[in-house]
Homo-oligomer: A and B are copies of this chain.
Amino acid sequence: MSQARFIYDSTEKNSDLYYATQFRAPDAFIFFEHRGKKYMVMNDLEIDRARKESCAHRVLSINGYVKRAEAAKEKPGQADVIHEILSERKIRSLEVPLSMSFALVDALRKRGYKIEAGPYPFYPERLEKDNEEKRNILVTQLTVFAAIGMARDAIADSKVKNRQLVLRGRPLTSDRLRTMINVFLLERGYVASDTIVSCGAHSIDPHDIGAGPLRPNEPIIVDVFPRSIKTLFYGDATRTFCKGRAPDALKKIYATVKEGQKLGLSMVREGINGRRIHEAILALFEKRGYSTGEKGGRMQGFFHGTGHGLGLDLHEEPVRITHRDYVLKKGNVISVEPGLYYKGIGGVRIEDIVFVTKTGCDVLGRFPKELEI
A207 near B25 with CB under 8 A, answer yes
Copies in the complex: 2
Which one of B179, B191, B208, B319 contacts A193 once the chains associate, using CB atoms below 8 Å?
B191
A157 interface residue, CB < 8 Å from B? no
Report chain B residues within 8 Å CB of A26.
194, 207, 314-315
CA of A349 to CA of B315 in the docked complex: distance in angstroms?
37
B187 near A183 with CB under 8 A, answer yes
A299 near B102 with CB under 8 A, answer no
Stretch in A45-53, A126-134, A252-260, A273-281 touching the partner: A45-53
- For the A-B complex with A98-B103, A183-B187 known, give 15 more contacts whose Cβ atoms are closer than 8 Å: A13-B13, A24-B194, A45-B206, A45-B207, A45-B305, A46-B207, A47-B299, A48-B205, A49-B205, A102-B104, A102-B117, A179-B186, A179-B189, A182-B186, A186-B186
| Cβ proximity bits A71-93 to B, threshold 8 Å, 1 near / 0 not | 00000000000000000000000
CA of A106 to CA of B13 in the docked complex: distance in angstroms?
22
A44 interface residue, CB < 8 Å from B? yes
CA of A239 to CA of B96 in the docked complex: distance in angstroms?
40
B183 near A44 with CB under 8 A, answer no
A208 near B45 with CB under 8 A, answer no
Q: Which 7 A-B pairs give the minimum distances between C-beta atoms?
A: A102-B105, A102-B102, A98-B103, A44-B303, A191-B193, A45-B304, A103-B117
CA of A11 to CA of B105 in the docked complex: distance in angstroms?
23
Q: Write the nearest CB–CB distance from A104 to chain B, whole angstroms.
A: 8
Report chain B residues within 8 Å CB of A46.
207
Which one of B47, B193, B229 contacts A229 once the chains associate, using CB atoms below 8 Å?
B193
CA of A299 to CA of B106 in the docked complex: distance in angstroms?
34
Report chain B residues within 8 Å CB of A2.
none
B186 near A48 with CB under 8 A, answer no
Report chain B residues within 8 Å CB of A303.
44-45
Q: Write the nearest CB–CB distance from A17 to chain B, whole angstroms.
A: 14
A299 near B44 with CB under 8 A, answer yes
A168 interface residue, CB < 8 Å from B? no
A208 near B49 with CB under 8 A, answer yes
